[in-house]
Structure 1
Amino acid sequence: MREVEYLRPSLPKLGAKLYKMPYREMQMWSDLTTNPGIMGCVNVWDMKVLRSASGAHFKLQINKKLNWDTIKEKIGPNSRIYIADNHAVTMSCHENADKQNLAELVQTVPVLPYYGVNFRDDNHIVLIVGGETEGISEESYKLASDFKGVRLKIPLSNKVDSLNAGTALGIIVFEIKRQLSMIQEKMADKSDSYNY
């Protein structure tokens, strides 16, 4: 709300009102199905997005609007599913789910600190990061449970509840890259020793 408070003095002149409401209510209130101003989205081919991704678009497969059955098919049998989880499942985000079953499902996926996981042993890594508003979906937990996945926790301090999705993603992906870089360095050292 702070972000739009500066608009309050101008609103009566414009015949507009300012409402504060939870995201779920906003979805029900709006009759728009794909309005990016209300529902939030990103154009992956936008110039700013392309620039911030530093060319990753051209090295990765990008899929849009996949259903969960298709996602399961795309994930190989040796894949390991990781969920970026602040260890605080908000049941209000899962209105349609049976809350008791969801709580039990979440408990089937163990929690480890992100730095305590050996990513070097994984053939294929699938990382799921939920948004700040919606959190992690029930389908994500089911997928992690089916693939013997792990919830990754980023320890926080000073009574901070959670990180935004981009920050959490950056921390975890950096750790994955750090560990994989160590493998590459060891392999390079071995090949150098054979050259002597």
Structure 2
Amino acid sequence: MENRKRSGVSRDGEAPRKFFKPVNRPNKEDFVFGIQSVLETLKSDKEIDKLLLQKELKHFEEIEILAKQRGVPIQRVPLEKLNRVTMKNHQGAIAFVSSVNFAVLSNVVTAAFESGEVPLILLLDRITDVRNFGAICRSAECSGVHGVVVPTRGAAQINGDAMKTSSGALNFVPVCRENDLWNAIKYLKNSGFQVVACTEKSKDFVYQADYTIPTVIVMGSEEDGISENLLQEADARVKIPLKGRVESLNVSVATGIILFEAVRQREFV
């Protein structure tokens, strides 16, 4: 019999996609385009997920300065990618606007400890699928997670699709955007959290970890899993036992399983 790995999530994250996924155009309320519109958005208090700037053009100095001041990721892309978002006169500049206001991690940690509950934080490493992200946040809110941490670069856009898939949970669960997830984990560990990574690189199952103390649960991406430097910081590595022929779970399903194991231990044991 073929020796199969038994793990919760393929490569610590989502099941690999084997088929071409068509590009979906964002809803028009999820982005603004044109140099002046992008500048005004950067000057406003709106949260911006990222900027797309046409790589062949050079006249974006003011946009780039404001974006760097606000910590907004910039991607230099070919004209074709911009045109896939909108065929209108974008002038080589498109800003994707977030549907939520990002929280400050230190404030989330303080509020979690002051709540009288055992703090639970969910950290998502490079999970880029919008609907998976929305579904994860729905499970996070339902399981009492105090905050979700995502990277500034390489995370799902928090747009209308994410909000819809979350069934409105994104209105209630704080989302923190961090430039460096390793630094975020170090901060959380220094604040009294243990780190539990959901990964196939484990001999232990999700039920063997102790979630009754302040905990950060780390979930990884579909292609690359949890980054090695983050895995090195984990106090425990766990996987989900599988009984069928399919060797992986979707990351949103896997996240729900581990989150509600934490709920079970905290509330019903």
Shorter-chain TM-score category?
A: 0.5 to 0.7
State the shift of 1:84 in Å: 0.6
Query: Which of 222, 236, 239 is equivalent to 1:150?
Result: 236
Corresponding position of 1:188: none
Q: Cα offset for 1:70?
A: 4.2
Shift of 1:180: 2.2
SS in 1 for 2:176: coil
Matching of residues 51-62 of structure 1 within 5 Å:
51-62=164-175
* Aligned twin of 2:216: 126
Deviation of residue 131 (structure 1)? 1.3
2:268 aligns with 182
Is the Cα contact below 8 Å between 1:50 and 1:57 reproduced in 2? Answer: yes
Q: Give a deviation string over 1:166-190, Cα, whole Å, max 9, x none.
A: 121111112112222327xxxxxxx
The normalised TM-score by structure 1 is: 0.53
Q: Which runs of 5 or more residues in structure 2 are unaligned?
A: 1-17, 23-54, 56-74, 85-125, 129-154
1:73 Cα deviation (Å)? Answer: 2.1
* 2:157 aligned residue: 43
| Contact 1:86-1:162 at 8 Å conserved across structures | no
1:70–1:175 CA distance, 2 compared to 1 (3 A): closer
Aligned partners of 1:73 and 1:153: how far apart in 2?
A: 25
Name the one with the larger strand percent: 2
Structure 1 residues without counterparts, runs of 5 or longer: 6-30, 88-109, 184-196
Alignment of 1:98-117 (within 5 A): 111-117=203-209
Which of 239, 243, 254 is 1:168 aligned to? Answer: 254
> How many equivalent residue pairs?
128
- TM-aligned CA deviation for residue 4 of structure 1: 6.1
Q: 1:160 to 1:33 in 2, by over 3 A?
A: farther
Task: Write the distance in 2 (CA, Å) between the matches of 1:159 and 1:140.
Answer: 30
How far apart in 2 are the matches of 1:138 and 1:53? 29
Q: Compute the displacement of 1:79 (Å).
A: 0.8
Residue from 194, 198, 201 that aligns with 1:80: 194
Opposite residue 113 of structure 1, the aligned amino acid is F
CA separation in 2, counterparts of 1:60 and 1:76?
23
Distance 1:4 1:135, change over 3 A: closer
Tell me if the contact between 1:131 and 1:164 (Cα under 8 Å) persists in the aligned partners.
no
Contact 1:111 1:150 in 2 (8 A): no
Q: Which amino acid aligns with 1:53?
A: S
**CA 1:131–1:50: 2 relative to 1, 3 Å:** same
- Distance in structure 2 (CA, Å) of the matches to 1:173 and 1:50: 20
* Whole-angstrom CA distance in 2 between matches of 1:4 and 1:116: 37
Deviation track 1:98-156 (CA, whole Å, cap 9, x = no partner) reads xxxxxxxxxxxx64211222312x1x211111112111111111221xxxx11111111
TM-score, length-scaled by structure 2: 0.40
| Structure 1 residue 51 displacement after superposition | 3.2
More helix, by proportion: 1
